[in-house]
Structure 1
């Protein structure tokens, strides 16, 4: 498979003076219960991170706040220095933020190729002239090449004409990643990308995400402790809606509080 292409890598390097993502004292309550309690997190430009913690720790809720799919109660969120605390999902996407979900969020009645085109179109709406969208997508050679390139990067180049409902669970995970990559984001949030995968599918996904981590800024939620701690040198541990610990994999492995919640 070819290297995942990124037109934004040099942009990332040029943004080194600002963190890629900064979460400042963010809180969120549901029905009086604190799901997120004064969480702060920084992902520097050109550097990825991983988030671990037991079920119910608030990891996915924090992702929803970062992407704008849920509104926070207090605190601030910045993407490359821009305050996006009250910004809509679309603005955060324009700044280069993309995500995947615990449960694949795909158009199951469409083909792989059509799904990837829809992922690509979301970005092009901001960068191409509006009249270009009256041209049927299958007649636009530039988009076809881009879709094929993304499909190859996630191992689905032989599945372009396949209806998504006929894909295996692992292939659907690969497609979801492809849709996130199609608009060439700068930051990708992974929400448990290994969930439900077979051993062979997990092996493939580990290699894919590991390669991606060298090319883009990623923040991943992952329960596979060995993989999570091998992915990056910056680990955040959440517990009961708060940050329990942050540091290198070695720091985390030796943290007594972390060992306690994981019963290690």
Structure 2
């Protein structure tokens, strides 16, 4: 495992770091960000994963949300991957909702995507090993959260690894990708036209299973993408037997102003299950 520190900033007593490495899974150079709390008492600390949405990189959450104050308050490390493979030799699309910046946190099976678009394996295997080596006094306790496409990623990765992640939360997630335009377009491209194969990457199918981690979802009523891409009905109908808290908040949109407003609720939720 080889990675290089390219930025480090003091923030609320901890350190906001940015790294670059060559991914053997994605076959390209990647960056990721990691916040390490001060941990002045030398205690074991948990790790929270954040997955960002369409068009984002690992910088959006670290620079816009102000999460560092909460990570320091709760003494939790936070890992922020990029949203897709990157580079001139990596397949892309002219549209903003497919290709680079739109990896959908799955393992693609179709050309020209299959070689590079393995974000699920990248996060759950390669980046997991790197995180374990970079977080001092890591307790081994992990949870996962995300926004929009990253909310989809958090739900899917958390549900597919229910024994690993203690809690899952999402802001305005794509919770039923097989039912909405963003997901249908991406799944058809990355996975092919056989919709049976889509179920493995659809949170509304995965949530049917017993023994899932507790889930918190927050959705703004003024979200411009809500009615077309983020409807929760199918997901919640399938999640009746599971522990899902779904909160609609009046007047909030899809932006980081929305995320920053409710982020402390999400951190408190995660820490309740990580300690």
| TM-score, normalising length: structure 2 | 0.30
Max radius of gyration: which structure? 1
| TM-score, normalising length: structure 1 | 0.31
